[in-house]
Amino acid sequence: MSEKVVKQKLAGYDKFINWKLFSIPLTLLILLLIMPTPASMLDVGVEYSMGPKYVKEYFAQELFQKPTTELEQWQVQMVRMMEQSVQMSSFGREGFLQRSQRWAEQRDIPSTPIHLEQVRNFTRQIPPDTFYNLMREGHELITERLTFDQLTEEEQVKAKRAGFHVKAAVGIVLFVVLCFMTEAIPLPMVAFCIGVIALMTGIVDRGNVAMLYWSDATWFIMGSLMFATAFVKTGVDKRIAMMMFGRLKNPDVRMVSLVIVMIIAPLTMFMSDHALAAMFLPIGILLYTATASASGKEDPELAKMLMLTIAMAANLGGSLAPSGAARNLIMMGYAEDMFNLHITYLQWMVYCAPFLLYLMPITWVVLNWRFKPEQRSLASAMALVKTEVNKVGGGAWTRPQKISLVIFLVMLFTWITENNLILHLTGIRFGIGVLAVMGGIAYIFAGVVNWRDYQTKVDWGVVWLYAGAIIFGRVLVQTGGAYWIAQTMLGLTAPLGLGQGLGLLLSGNVIVGMLTQLMADGPACAAVGPVTLAMAGIVHPGTAMIPFVAMSTSIASSFAYCLVIGTPPNAIVYASGYLEPKDYLRVGIILWFTNMAGLMLMASTYWYWIGWPDLPGW
């Protein structure tokens, strides 16, 4: 049996810049920046830069008959809380009364318990219909009535700058997408270009550009690649592979990919997709390298299929249970804030979890259709893995392997409990990213790995690639670029009859499904959710359409199959070195359409059939 060492093919890392291809995104970006700012972008600039000021003045005059400069502290807090509620398209009095001090502080609104109670007491004196109409008027002021010509000369300068920032953010979208499609420059360099362009166009400054790259998700990818390094070095990956696939009578690629999908997809409803992708990455790499070593030749199709099976499976179930992802809680919060509609954990599961029965077989079929590896049977690979396991420690678990597994299990426990048990015991919200890095540190302290292992085995380019995705999403949200894209697409779909009923549901799903390719699912929901929910409240007030829009928006935001930066699992498997950006498109485009169609089918049949408790159909 050949022991040939299989070299990993680093996708794009060894390439130099291709100026012929790079000139395309660069030229289009420059042309977009120097062209006059379109009126629609200027309108968004007015709304984002001047809207908050004007709506606060409006509320101050309507409620207290004074300008904001003369308000008492609790009155200032009230108009600022109302302005933030308007930004969320949340108009109800009952939802406003539920605002907490923590809610205010998270939005940089100074708050004290005494002032908050004064705000609540004053709000209770306002009839619900009057409060709702007042909030609606405030929303219409900033979205419809406030125009560029109404601004003072100084305000117009600020609005023009904000409009230019919207244009620059959309230009960055064009630049990034084309760079990913052409691979004109190494992908981690695209991440650096995002920050440089944002700095040069004035969207960010040197004081905050560096911090915008980092988030809990970036830390998690670092930590997860560290523990994958520990698993591979100690051989834990081989033992887990044997436990998962060793008893298969026919361990061909179809059965192996089916097992991966059936294990990962349901777990993502209750565990982090990041964690599952990171856990299975070394197993996928092992299966390929063992197969290639046993056959004596490389099979790139097999490597790509295994890596993308892990990533796509990790993207399936996160939206089907509230515990699966933060985006679910975001949409549940919007439904409660905007319409005082509480969606329970069980309700979300009843309506969404059955979708997994559609997603898993479709994903498995598409993966096996789009990739045709030469090596169909992995039996020789499993025999080789078994031999390797028996070589180390005579087949028994070694001390480094036990330590590696224990540290991982502790990490896994903390990831699952960090926002409840760990928070309760320590009073600290660590975040799964910090906990993952703490696990990486623990491997060093335990003597399982050293820094040289991390330096050479962790794909730091992927870390920077996802860091670029973080600043990319933040730029789109903060400038209003994502809002402009959503509004533009809604405007284009409305004349097609997609402004009500299932058409409204479809247009919202398509918009968030496209945005989520470019930014994290949470920000995508935050950008689109209030817009689509507000439209549902206007066109179908008090109907089941409202919770259906909330759930479908969250589900559609998980369809980030097409780009490396779409989700952390996509970025994590890219670290294997076997994938190119175009490989994601081979399955991603098909899955996007099939799963979007499946979501609409479920909404028009299953959801429509069972309806929503105490709400009429639309």
- pLDDT tens digits for 208-261? 999 999 888 788 888 888 988 898 888 888 888 778 787 777 788 999 899 899
Coil/strand/helix, residue 198 = helix
pLDDT on residue 427? 87
Residues contacting 217, CB < 8 A, separation 6+: 274, 433, 466, 470, 520, 568
**Which pLDDT belongs to residue 10?**
44
pTM of the entire structure? 0.81
- Would you kindly state where each structural domain of the chain is located, as residue ranges? 25-45+154-213, 51-145, 215-223+394-458
Residue 332 pLDDT: 85
Euclidean distance between CA atoms 556 and 161, whole angstroms: 33
What is the radius of gyration, based on Cα positions, of the chain? 26
Are 580 and 11 spatial neighbours (Cβ–Cβ below 8 Å)? Answer: yes
pLDDT at position 605: 95
AA identity, residue 411: M
What is the length of the chain? 618
CB 198, CB 473: distance < 8 Å = no
Residues 209 and 198: beta-carbon distance below 8 Å: yes
Q: Distance between CA atoms of 467 and 489, rounded to whole angstroms?
A: 27
The string of DSSP codes covering 418-445 is TTTHHHHHHS----HHHHHHHHHHHHHH
State the residue for tokens 């809002």.
483
Q: What is the rounded distance in angstroms from the CA atom of residue 58 to the CA atom of residue 467?
A: 40
Q: Is 222 helix (H, G, I), strand (E, B) or coil?
A: helix
Q: Is 197 helix (H, G, I), strand (E, B) or coil?
A: helix
Q: Which two tokens stand for residue 220?
A: 């998690």
Query: Among 83, 85, 77, 75, which Cα is nearest to 55's?
Result: 83
Using alpha carbons, select from 275, 189, 155 the residue that is nearest to residue 227: 275
pLDDT of amino acid 33: 95
Burial of 610 by CB count in 10 Å (0-12 exposed, 13-18 middle, 19+ buried)?
Answer: exposed
The helix/strand count (H/E) of the chain reads as 31, 0
Burial of 380 (0-12, 13-18, 19+ CB in 10 A): middle
- C-alpha to C-alpha distances, 562 to 95, 272, 435, 527, nearest whole angstrom: 37, 20, 29, 20
Among the listed residues 602, 34, 103, the one whose alpha carbon sits nearest the alpha carbon of residue 320? 602
Q: What is the rounded CA–CA span in Å between residue 545 and residue 536?
A: 6
Amino acid at 313: A
Determine contact, residues 257/246, Cβ cutoff 8 Å: no
Please name which of 324, 241, 276 lies closest in space to residue 570, comparing C-alpha atoms.
Answer: 276
> Alpha-carbon distance 458 to 469, whole Å?
19
What percent of the chain is helix, strand and coil (3-state, nearest 5)? 75, 0, 25
User: Which residue is listed with tokens 């990962």?
Assistant: 264
* Residue-wise pLDDT tens digits, 500-553: 788 889 988 998 998 888 877 777 787 788 878 877 887 888 899 999 999 999
Q: What angle do CA 565, 525, 143 make, to 5 degrees?
A: 120
Q: What is the pLDDT of residue 394?
A: 64
Residue 530 pLDDT: 80
Q: Which residues of the chain, if any, have pLDDT below 50?
A: 1-11
For residue 103 the two structure tokens come to 């809610």
